[in-house]
Amino acid sequence: MKLSRFNIISEIKDSDEYFILNSLYGSADVISNITYNDLLKGNSENYDFASRGYLVDPEAEKSLFRNAYLKFLDERETDEVQLFFIPGYSCNFSCSYCYQADFRIKDTGLDKDIIDAFFMHVDEDFAERRRYITLFGGEPLLPGKPHMNLIKYIIECAVGRNTDVAVVTNGYHVIDYIDIFRLARLREIQVTLDGTRVVHDRRRTLKNGKGTFDRIAEGVDMLLENNIPVNLRMVVDRDNIENLPALAQFAIDRGWTASGIFSTQLGRNYELHDCQVGREKLFSRIEMYSELYRLIKRHPHILDFHKPAFAVSRALYETGELPAPLFDACPGTKTEWAFDFTGNIYSCTATAGKKGEELGRFFPERVMYREKIEQWEERDILSIGECRECSLSLICGGGCAAVAGNRNGSTTGCPDCRPVKELLELGIATYFPEYASK
């Protein structure tokens, strides 16, 4: 018997106990220092390491791994696909950190022909798949009758196909769109608030410099009143993270967190694009989560507003089980695609609008760049050398192909490493406080 390749062992933050996790076997335990040393020596006298999959027969582990991989591929075939549609790259905001600020694509002429071509493509390529459509931008909810009518037309086309719609918006014109939303099968509206009024309005202004907080907050109220699910996103960096406790309190006081259709996410502003503005303010993943850990200790009400994933820690806490092994963290071209108003097709929102990242066209004619698509499709932890040898692979899943591509020049063959072990150290201490002494 040998130690499993997929054991992840580390010390729980602010504790003298250890956790051990093995995603292939679905095992997770807290162990003492003594048990930890027994495991390293292969001494099973006091603990049955084999029954938990921590000590294994390597040949049996290989076969278990192969079967889990095949199951993962099979299940993904029937997963729901998210199809992003980008009606334009224009935006009515001038956010201090906008990654699309350097996009040069002019918004000329979204029209019904392009929308029809998009839905024809959906009908043909995704006929048998469960799918939903997400409107993305730029800002998809711009003012003005002609644009609003086109958004309405997209929603009608989706309704006609029994397809749900989600919207990613800055939230400013949500109020004006409420009648159009009532026509849709709406999955959720994602709006962004970067903090309470002063902090948000410093970062997310209209083009004329005017603040946007109050109108977005009213929009969130109105969505919830109309029973439309809201996903509130806060983009965090060094400039606004200290405002998270105040935003959490605001959402609690406003009654948002008590709603069953209100959810949240924290987004990092990250280095996907060529934006030169304020790079020194950006967090790495572990920096952001370390800050969250620190803030949650001091302001536990943050957890009423947002429960950070800390890798699989939150899932383990909420369900009592580890999620299934993750052989591929990147949904691009597998369960995610992006389509823009120029007729281009991309893997996902991270590549949408970037020159050279096109994977095909749906308008004016349909053409798919098969060789490029295959490179995306083949990327998983078995196709990346580093991931094949990595004990974290079944939780990390190889990371984001676009980030890997940005860093290394190769989208498909390079890893985008996640600090899985460090995130688990923080997450277990956050969600299982009995193991954290302070």
CA R_g for the chain: 23
Q: Which of 392, 423, 424, 436 binds ligand SF4 (CB under 6 A)?
A: 392
| 418 near ligand SF4 (CB under 6 A) | yes
Strands 81-86 and 55-56: unpaired
* Angle (deg, nearest 10), helices 285-298 and 420-431: 10
Which range in 92-100, 262-270, 287-295, 390-398 contacts ligand SF4 by CB under 6 A? 390-398
Cβ nearer to ligand SF4, comparing 16 with 75: 75
Supply 402's token pair: 């676009």
Q: Which residues in 301-330 contact ligand SF4 (CB under 6 A)? A: 330
Interface mask (CB under 6 A) for ligand SF4, residues 158-197, using x and -?
----------------------------------------
**Contact indicator for 81, 131 with CB cutoff of 8 Å:** yes
Supply 159's token pair: 């309704």
Q: Which residues in 346-375 contact ligand SF4 (CB under 6 A)? A: 347-348, 350
CB of 375 to ligand SF4, least distance (A): 12
CB of 310 to ligand SF4, least distance (A): 15
CB of 393 to ligand SF4, least distance (A): 4
| 87 near ligand SF4 (CB under 6 A) | no
| 86 near ligand SF4 (CB under 6 A) | no
**Contact indicator for 404, 415 with CB cutoff of 8 Å:** yes
Q: Which of 364, 248, 368, 375 is nearest to 299 (CA)?
A: 248
CB of 96 to ligand SF4, least distance (A): 22
Cβ nearer to ligand SF4, comparing 9 with 330: 330
- Backbone phi and psi for residue 30, each to the nearest 5 degrees, phi listed first: -100, 130
| 264 near ligand SF4 (CB under 6 A) | no
Cβ nearer to ligand SF4, comparing 133 with 350: 350
Per residue, the 3-state secondary structure of 126-191, as one string, reads CCCCCEEEEECCCCCCCCCHHHHHHHHHHHHHHHHCCCEEEEECCCCCCHHHHHHHCCCCEEEEEE
Q: Give the Cα separation of 280 and 30 in Å (integer).
A: 37
| 415 near ligand SF4 (CB under 6 A) | yes
Q: Which of 12, 387, 424, 426 binds ligand SF4 (CB under 6 A)?
A: 387
Q: Which of 325, 360, 398, 427 binds ligand SF4 (CB under 6 A)?
A: 398
Cβ nearer to ligand SF4, comparing 308 with 332: 332
| 331 near ligand SF4 (CB under 6 A) | yes
| 416 near ligand SF4 (CB under 6 A) | yes
| 340 near ligand SF4 (CB under 6 A) | no
SS3 371: helix
| 79 near ligand SF4 (CB under 6 A) | no
Which range in 67-75, 204-212, 276-284, 345-353 contacts ligand SF4 by CB under 6 A? 345-353
Q: Give the Cα separation of 298 and 387 in Å (integer).
A: 36
Cβ nearer to ligand SF4, comparing 17 with 416: 416
Q: Which residues pair with 339 in a beta bridge?
A: 85, 345
Q: Give one DSSP letter per residue of 302-366, joined into a string.
A: HHHH----TTTHHHHHHHSSPPPP-S----BTTTEEEEETTSEEESSTTTTT-TT---EE-SSS-
Supply 139's token pair: 């800002």
Q: Which of 386, 408, 410, 437 binds ligand SF4 (CB under 6 A)?
A: 386
CB of 219 to ligand SF4, least distance (A): 26
| 393 near ligand SF4 (CB under 6 A) | yes
C-alpha torsion 245→250→253→259, nearest 10: -100
Q: How many residues bind ligand SF4 (CB under 6 A)?
A: 24
Cβ nearer to ligand SF4, comparing 173 with 379: 379
CA atoms within 13 A on the CB side of 117: 20
| 396 near ligand SF4 (CB under 6 A) | yes
Binding residues for ligand SF4 (CB under 6 A): 330-332, 336, 347-348, 350, 381, 384, 386-387, 390, 392-393, 396, 398-402, 415-418
